[in-house]
Amino acid sequence: MIKGFICPDKTKINCQDCFKECRLGFRCAPTSYLQAVTQDREWHGVPSVTQLCNGTLESYLKIKSDYYVSPNDMAFAISGTKKHAQLEEHGENAEQRMEWNGIQGTPDELIYHDDDTFNLIDHKTAGSYKVAQCLGIATEKIETGEFYKNGKPKTKTEIIMIPGEWGDYELQLNMYRIMIEETTGKKCREQKIFFIVRDGGTAIAFSRGVRDNIYFSSVPKLDDGKVIAYFEHKRDALIYAVENDIEPEICSQEERWFDRKCEKYCQVAEFCKYAPKKEDSNE
């Protein structure tokens, strides 16, 4: 669970001491923001779909370890949470927590129809790299048929579409769909993600072919049996590890983002024997 913060000078401080008084004499963020950062979901023995989409070792360490977070590094997560809340305030059947087969989940928005069907909508705030990867947006240089004075051909960049790679987003939505279908008896017409592009409108987003700030796209349906088997395996592995205090094996390459997550983004990397070690901060 989140124990405290990493200050701008890299010193660690627990939450209550920080809320009481800033040790530096000037706050890096208002207390309302800092309190929002620490809203960590407690472990009650029933894993969530989101936890199971992460590596089992990462989820285990977040449950078992008292770790610190940088307020600066949490900015996009808090921004995304705020946008979620605003969207869900106006959405239909928003944020309904459900539990099925020892797994809990909270779909962002459900739209029920009179013919016992529903649409499932999930809201994501993601960078242009992730959006392009999911939607299969790519760019390539095309020769225009014209030439520069030095004889080199002139080119222009065009957007092309390739097969998308949805990764854990695809697993998450399909599990939500199965949970809703199993608990309500209704069938899903369509499962979609509404993307808000975190860096939308910037040069880097344009270079990746992401020209819009929002995208609303259908997510492919996966085989139910394979999805259920995946999440049941992850559920059993996490529960066994936590209850028996046995550290799981290293997260998969996909879960580690091919080590990028371990190096920069995993909040419990300092407790992981597999992660590259950084210089220790003061307690």
Average pLDDT per consecutive 10 residues, the chain (283 residues; last block may be shorter): 91 93 91 85 91 96 93 76 56 74 93 95 94 96 90 90 94 97 95 95 95 96 97 97 96 92 91 77 42
Residue 48: DSSP 8-state: B
pLDDT of residue 220: 95
How many independent structural domains does the chain possess? 1
Residue by residue, DSSP assigns 83-124 as: HHHHHHHHSTT-S--EEETTEEE--SEEEE-TTSEEEEEEEE
Q: Alpha helix (H) ranges present in 9-106?
A: 15-20, 31-37, 49-53, 56-64, 75-90
Question: What CATH number should be reported for the domain holding residue 43?
Answer: 3.90.320
pLDDT of residue 96: 75
Sequence-separated (6 or more) residues with CB below 8 Å from residue 238: 47, 51, 52, 56, 59, 60, 248
pLDDT of residue 65: 93
Provide the domain limits for residue 257.
2-271
Domain presence at residue 141? yes
Domain presence at residue 227? yes
Phi and psi angles of residue 206, each rounded to the nearest 5 degrees, phi first: -65, -35
Domain presence at residue 276? no
Compute the distance between CA of residue 3 and CA of residue 27 in angstroms, rounded to an integer: 18
Domain presence at residue 20? yes
Compute the distance between CA of residue 226 and CA of residue 247 in angstroms, rounded to an integer: 26
Domain presence at residue 195? yes
281 near 6, Cβ under 8 Å?
yes
- Helix, strand, coil distribution of the chain in percent, nearest 5: 35, 25, 40
First to last CA, the chain: 16
pLDDT of residue 280: 45
CA atoms within 13 A on the CB side of 38: 18
Domain presence at residue 278? no
CA atoms within 13 A on the CB side of 33: 16
pLDDT of residue 110: 92
